[in-house]
Amino acid sequence: MIYNTKIDTFNKNNKTEISRDYILNNVVFRLVGDRKKDELCGRPYEKVFDLIKIYTVFVPELAEENGVAMIQVTDALLHKFNITEEEMKEAAEENTPDLFPAIFKELSEVMSSLGVLPKDEVRENKMYVLSNNKCINGAAAIFYDEVLDIIAEKLDGDLIILPSSIHEVLILKREDDMDPYALKSIVENVNETVLDASDFLSQNVYQYSKGEKSFKPLF
């Protein structure tokens, strides 16, 4: 669960106060879909195709078990603490992988841990889950430095990336016999029938080229 808090509330209840250094040491990015763009007035963001990086300040002092507490980064917040958008984004690129390390597991392993599949069931599974250690806002891990390159090396090929939600993405090694339209249909069906609207990320299927080290939509 994500807990949003305000600076005044934090400063009132904690010995540590929000400061310029605190923000730059704890600012992180996460991903939302472009359906959220109209809600981002007055907030810095970066659009990558139909994915949008937004920025928050992680507040570990208020984080509960299995949850995170965040303060939204706004233009007013940056102005108040004399922080440029460029230095904020640079700090977020460094902080996010450190504060929320990426995890990469086979989908079957994740499903077994959730009790969806028996642990002793053996099946070949070529689909993987990429998220972070909290499994909250973990789709952002696709933009961690070198993460997709490392995964492409591990799987020895180009990657297909299915944006299953803001919390994780599914990854497959690209094969010649894959049907890209069937993959897109899977994403669209999950978005329409399973996913909560607040967790929506994208209708697109993405690809990562191992040779070119490039990330782009499949279509």
Same domain, 51 and 84: yes
Beta-bridge partner residues of 33 = 51
Query: How does pLDDT run across 141-173, given as a tens digit for each residue?
Result: 999 999 999 999 999 999 999 999 999 999 999
Do residues 181 and 134 share a domain? yes
Q: For position 192, what pLDDT does the model report?
A: 92
Which of these three, 45, 64, 98, is where a domain ends? 98
Task: Indicate whether 100 pLDDT > 90.
Answer: yes
Q: What is the mean pLDDT of the chain?
A: 88
- Enclosing domain of residue 10: 2-98
Pick from 12, 7, 8, 9: which is nearest to 23 by CA? 7
CA dihedral sign of residues 60, 63, 65, 66 = negative
**Does residue 112 share a domain with residue 9?**
no
**Boundary (domain end) residue, out of 98, 127, 148:** 98
CA distance 170 to 28: 22
| Tokens matching residue 13 | 């209840």
- Sign of the torsion angle spanned by Cα atoms 155, 159, 160, 162: positive
Local confidence band at 15 (pLDDT 50, 70, 90 cut-offs)? low
The answer on 108 and 210 residing in a single domain is: yes
Domain count, the chain: 2
151 and 192 share one domain: yes
Q: Which residue has the higher pLDDT, 166 or 16?
A: 166
Quote the radius of gyration of the chain (alpha carbons, Å).
Answer: 18
Same domain, 114 and 9: no
Does the structure show a pLDDT above 90 at 13?
A: no
160 and 181 in a common domain? yes
Q: 79 with 47, same domain? A: yes
109 shares its domain with 159: yes
Predicted local confidence at residue 114, as pLDDT: 47
Q: Is 61 helix (H, G, I), strand (E, B) or coil?
A: helix
